[in-house]
Structure 1
Amino acid sequence: MDGSWALIAVGLVGLLVGAAAALAFRWSERSHAREPEVAKPAVSYDVAALLSALRSTSVLLGPGGEVLRASPDAYATGLVRNGRLTHATLNDLVAATRADGQIRDEHLEVPRSAVPGADRLSFEVRVATMAGGRVLLLADDQTAQRRLEEVRRDFVANVSHELKTPVGAIALLAETAADAADDPELVRRFAGKMQREAVRLSALVQEIIELSRLQAPDNEVGYVDVSVDGVVTEAVDRIRVEAESREITVVVGGTTGLHVLGDHALLVTAVRNLLDNALRYSDNGTRVSVGVRPRDGIAEIAVVDQGPGISSENAGRVFERFFRVDPARSRDTGGTGLGLSIVKHVAQNHGGEVTLWSAPGRGSTFTLRIPLADDSSDGGAPSRDEKAPPTSAGAGGETRDPHPAR
């Protein structure tokens, strides 16, 4: 009897030991499950708020060079990709700062992308170390300012070159005329040439002033209601004498009664420059057409010529300052190379654009597009005359819509 109780006691002790072991095992599992994984260094709320308030593009790097936080501009400009700095020059700058702890300020130019020939971005960069092995990189994008400086430098260089030509010609002609004082015929001929160069110089200076005014940062168009009919009529009147002297017919047609918001004088200058350009590259006895129409809330003024046309290589450059498709012809006709650039800036200042359609041997169509005033209807009024909208005959007598599909 005593042996039976002993066996029962041993069995109970074994059950208790097994239960205790099972409970200990379960408790161990739960304890391991509750242990958090090792997380990456976190950016505190205060630091994140401070970086968000900075105007500069900011990148906060961890001890291993990983990006902990970056402003949206850092991704937009390509400074950060896949959680890392993308440019070796930036990584070198960060490594040097880590090595000695000194704050570094550098001017760097980096490519926008890995594509060969990609545009280069200009940055003023500051790199400084922070606690916990972190590094802060601040970058100010100077690309727009650099481009503006380049444009100004090129503009000054181009203006200097363009002014030298008529000034030098006038000086040479005056010297030649003085040497030929005993020959009245030669004096009259040289005086006529000096007069033409003086007119060209005056036109060049006036257009430089006009273009500078249009490009001034504080330039604002005085928006008033402007009649498109009045703009076209005045612009045509200004070139009528030259057109008649060369027996070039100027035909005006299309929709009347359209109105835009803008500056009447500037819009007249733009249309007149388009007409001047059309006359300059048109042969005597041909025709220049002006067509007006509303389209999707835009007033389109198209000037069509029957000139030699423009190749695709030059079409993208015709609105650049001082660019001439045919420099010799421009010199003969007094062209300054600024007229179409002025048109482009007038259009931009009015919230519009100027477009070009052209093909060698088929003439050119320049279209000035300006937003309509709210009270202008797309239906328009009857045409200025009873004829159809103007067309232009291209090579082989082919007619062409003054508003070609773009």
Structure 2
Amino acid sequence: MSPLVALVVGLVLGGVVAATVILRFRRADGVEPDRAVAGLPEAALARRLVDLMDPAVVLVDVDESVLLANPAARALGIVRGDRLLVPDLVHLAQEVRSGGSRRADVRLPGDLVGSGPRLVGVHGVRLHSGTAPPPGPVALVLEDITEAHRVEAVRRDFVANVGHELKTPVGALALLAEAIEQAADDPEAVQRFAGRIAHEADRLGRLVREVIDLSRLQGGEPLPELVPVEVDGVVAEAVDRTRTAARAKGLDIAVGGESGLVVRGVESQLATAVTNLLANAVAYSVGEGRIAVAARARSGFAEIAVTDSGMGIPRKDRNRVFERFYRVDQSRASSTGGTGLGLAIVKHVATNHGGSVSVWSEEGLGSTFTLRIPLVAGVPAPVRAPEQMEKEHS
């Protein structure tokens, strides 16, 4: 329960108590609750305040009938007529009536609200002040905490995954330092171990950079202003960043498709996304071959497709490759140097730009990752000289 909600509840409950007492007597006389409230300025004011509250508010009488439910409560589907439909809420109201204030998290069935199960934080308050009978009505204030609970679970999972991923390079660095100390009189071994230390340090640095990038993309920092960006420049930058690693594996990067496309975005983020797709293609390509990157305009989007002839992705893994730290072949994580964050970063870049990323793949045939970014409407395609294009893509 947020402090703001608690404050509002405290301000409203005083008026609600008076309204509730009158409601109970009017109900006994056969008068509809809403009409009774409408006739009393104080009760009407309290009802109006409750109706305007974002949290759901339900007043439950001693016979478990609902005296009052604001629009937020009815929108959750927890009330039908004058009855509560969720047994856990009824049970909580009974506990509050017999024992005083209670707080609990209650899961609402998905069929009540039509949007899947929801988790609500409930603050139950007994409205009569005395400790002795007779018992009085109970106010239940419900706040939807589904998203907050999901975000907290994601945060815990992220922290756990980062810790696990950091263990590998940090542990390797410690072991290599010990090996160098023991091989101080063997220059060749020292040189070999030093090379491994440089490799693990680079892997550690890349992991830290990608964690920072992902944190920024997920809302840690506001998204910079989106400006027109030439797709040709983004592709050229990504190819330039990846060419050395591709040549080391005997791979060529072929650039094709339409030129002159302009999207609205952040050039550095788009270049990082395409670079990650190319780096992924290089890492998982087998033997000498070719990686292709091409852009085209389609249905108001620029589609940048990166195709490799690698091992492909099993069907069961295709929907998960964009998850953080997920790897199709965990045993190859060390050999490829991957952090498991590259494709997650691509997904967040696409989402932040109002686009998407998808994958087509068949085992043994390779994969095609397609990044879709909205085109800038009404911007003419820039004219590029052939020698300029050749220089950018060489």
Q: Specify the TM-score bucket, using the shorter chain as the normaliser.
A: 0.7 to 0.9
Give, in whole Å, the separation in 2 of the partners of 1:355 and 1:259: 20
In structure 1, what is the equivalent of residue 93 of structure 2? Answer: 94
5 Å-filtered alignment, 1:57-136, equals 57-61=56-60, 64-67=63-66, 69-75=68-74, 77-80=76-79, 84-99=83-98, 102=100, 104-113=101-110, 119=117, 121-129=119-127, 134-136=137-139
Secondary structure in 2 matching 1:309? coil
Q: Contact between 1:97 and 1:129, CA under 8 Å: does it hold in 2?
A: no
Secondary structure in 2 matching 1:216? helix
The one-letter code of the counterpart of 1:105 is: R
The one-letter code of the counterpart of 1:203 is: R
Task: Give 1:280 shift.
Answer: 0.8
Which structure dedicates a bigger proportion of its chain to helix? Answer: 2
In structure 2, what is the equivalent of residue 171 of structure 1? Answer: 174
Task: Give 1:222 shift.
Answer: 2.1
The one-letter code of the counterpart of 2:34 is: A
TM-score normalised to the size of structure 2?
0.78
5 Å-filtered alignment, 1:275-314, equals 275-314=278-317
In structure 2, what is the equivalent of residue 26 of structure 1? Answer: none
The one-letter code of the counterpart of 2:303 is: E
5 Å-filtered alignment, 1:3-402, equals 38=30, 40-42=32-34, 44-45=37-38, 46=44, 47-61=46-60, 64-67=63-66, 69-75=68-74, 77-80=76-79, 84-99=83-98, 102=100, 104-113=101-110, 119=117, 121-129=119-127, 134-376=137-379
Q: Contact between 1:123 and 1:143, CA under 8 Å: does it hold in 2?
A: no
Secondary structure in 2 matching 1:313? helix
The one-letter code of the counterpart of 1:272 is: T
Change (3 A) 1:345 1:91: same
Secondary structure in 1 matching 2:371? strand
Deviates more, 1:75-84 or 1:249-258: 75-84
Task: Give 1:279 shift.
Answer: 0.9
Give, in whole Å, the separation in 1 of the partners of 2:86 and 2:144: 15
Q: Show structure 1 runs of 5+ residues with no match.
A: 1-36, 386-406
Q: Contact between 2:256 and 2:293, CA under 8 Å: does it hold in 1?
A: yes
Task: Give 1:64 shift.
Answer: 4.2
Secondary structure in 2 matching 1:325? coil
Task: Give 1:209 shift.
Answer: 1.4
Alpha-carbon displacement from aligned partner over 1:361-400 (angstroms, at most 9, x marks no partner): 23222111111112257xx799999xxxxxxxxxxxxxxx
Q: Contact between 2:312 and 2:361, CA under 8 Å: does it hold in 1?
A: yes
Give, in whole Å, the separation in 2 of the partners of 1:68 and 1:292: 62
Give, in whole Å, the separation in 2 of the partners of 1:166 and 1:261: 38
Alpha-carbon displacement from aligned partner over 1:40-65 (angstroms, at most 9, x marks no partner): 43362424422221121223445643
Secondary structure in 2 matching 1:355? strand
Deviates more, 1:272-281 or 1:39-48: 39-48
Give, in whole Å, the separation in 1 of the partners of 2:235 and 2:260: 12
Task: Give 1:89 shift.
Answer: 1.8
Change (3 A) 1:197 1:211: same
Q: Contact between 1:293 and 1:300, CA under 8 Å: does it hold in 2?
A: yes
Q: Contact between 1:255 and 1:384, CA under 8 Å: does it hold in 2?
A: no
Give, in whole Å, the separation in 2 of the partners of 1:42 and 1:81: 16
In structure 1, what is the equivalent of residue 17 of structure 2? Answer: none
Q: Contact between 2:93 and 2:124, CA under 8 Å: does it hold in 1?
A: no
Task: Give 1:270 shift.
Answer: 0.5
Secondary structure in 2 matching 1:166? helix
Secondary structure in 1 matching 2:291? strand
The one-letter code of the counterpart of 2:73 is: A
Change (3 A) 1:221 1:120: same
Give, in whole Å, the separation in 2 of the partners of 1:359 and 1:70: 54
Give, in whole Å, the separation in 1 of the partners of 2:189 and 2:180: 7
Secondary structure in 2 matching 1:256? coil
Over aligned residue pairs, what C-alpha RMSD do you find? 2.9
In structure 1, what is the equivalent of residue 12 of structure 2? Answer: none
Q: Contact between 2:51 and 2:71, CA under 8 Å: does it hold in 1?
A: no
Task: Give 1:76 shift.
Answer: 5.0
Give, in whole Å, the separation in 1 of the partners of 2:328 and 2:342: 13
The one-letter code of the counterpart of 1:369 is: R
Q: Give the count of matched residue pairs.
A: 343
Change (3 A) 1:185 1:99: closer
Give, in whole Å, the separation in 2 of the partners of 1:253 and 1:75: 56
Q: Contact between 1:112 and 1:121, CA under 8 Å: does it hold in 2?
A: no
Give, in whole Å, the separation in 2 of the partners of 1:158 and 1:38: 61
Secondary structure in 2 matching 1:160? helix
Q: Which has the larger radius of gyration?
A: 1
Identity over aligned residues, as a percent? Answer: 48
Change (3 A) 1:167 1:310: same
